[in-house]
Amino acid sequence: MELLAVVCLCLLTWSGTTFAAGNGPDVIKMVVKEGDDTILPCSLSTREDIVQKLFDWKRDGQKEVFLYDAGVTYGKDHPGQDEQFKQRVFHFPDQLQFGNASIVIRNTKVTDSGNYTCDFPRLQPRRRGLIELVVGAAPAPVTKILKVTEDGVVLQCEVRGASPKPDVKWQDSDGNVLRAEEPQVSERGGLYYVSLLTTVTKTSTNLFHCVSTQKDIGHRTEEEIYVPERLLEDKSCHEAPMFIGGVFTGIVIVAAVLSVLAAIYITIRRNKASGRLKTLGKRFWSDPVVESLHEGSGHKRNGVCNRESMKPLQNPEDVC
């Protein structure tokens, strides 16, 4: 691993920022993926020993990234390093004797993007280099079947937390771009969130791809999704739950109506029965035979049995 690091460092040094007396700073653009370690190259063309020299790295001319001063770096002995870069930026001590002032930034973040300067303020003439760093976040798309409609199956593709802003498209298995709705885009903290919908119908493979492209960082990623043929052929399948729900609702309503009608019917029958009993009672008490039986009972009022004041029989022998 040590040998590999040295080889990479040498390659970046030769292709990176090399200073020559009297020349202006070279501008280099570097593009890396978020989470990766990146080396910002900086060296003197004379390859002179800089162990006892001073070089200073800054971002956007203000943020202190890394400072080396004759063996002293940011830390307990030299405060001032920006919080964003603490414990994340390191130099290569064994390369100082060759005039190499390159640094490595561990676990790069999107917020690390910016213009970095490597400065030798005490050298005459003064040497300074400029590097434009672009840190990109390239999450893979997430796809799913959203719903089934009469026009086909609606697919959703989401790219969450990308930077720079991705170009998102739907394609079929042959690479043809599919018609889609207007993408929904939001931005939070420098990261982009994109959602794209398309409606598909049956194809030879029923395979579809969501492709996310970020040209600024030269990144392209895609996600494949398969749509079951039954969803594409039987468009009524999504209507079945609605139909079943409608039938069930209808049954409940009919049952409720029948219950109400039954209750009304029973009430009417009870009322009619009660009326019939009252009529029979009147007929019974007005019957001549019954009247004659009451005449000898002793319970008379003005010669007529007082039926209204009659009490329940307490003795079987009691009669009206």
The more confident residue out of 11 and 81 is: 81
- pLDDT at site 254: 75
Tell me the pLDDT band of 41, cut-offs 50, 70 and 90: very high
Instruction: Read off the pLDDT of residues 134-192 as tens digits, 9 standing for 90 and up.
Output: 999 999 999 999 999 999 999 999 999 999 999 999 999 999 999 999 999 999 988 99
Contact 55, 120 (CB under 8 A): yes
Phi-psi region of 273 (alpha: psi -120 to 50; beta: other; left: phi over 0): alpha
When pLDDT is cut at 50, 70 and 90, the band that residue 307 belongs to is very low
Residue of 223 and 317 predicted with greater confidence: 223
pLDDT at res. 256? 81
Predicted local confidence at residue 320, as pLDDT: 43
pLDDT in tens, 96-149: 999 999 999 999 999 999 999 999 998 888 888 899 999 999 999 999 999 999
Tens digits of residue pLDDT in 194-211: 999 999 999 999 999 999
pTM above 0.85, yes or no: no
Q: What is the DSSP letter of 202?
A: -
Mark residue 80 as left, alpha or beta (left: phi above 0; alpha: psi -120 to 50; beta: remaining).
left
* Beta strands 54-59 and 114-120, pairing class: antiparallel
- Per-residue model confidence (pLDDT) at position 83: 93
For 45-71, how does the pLDDT look when each residue is reduced to its tens digit (9 = 90+)?
889 999 999 999 999 988 999 999 999
Tell which residue, 226, 231, 156, has the closest CA to residue 197: 156
How are beta strands 42-44 and 17-19 bridged, if at all? Answer: parallel
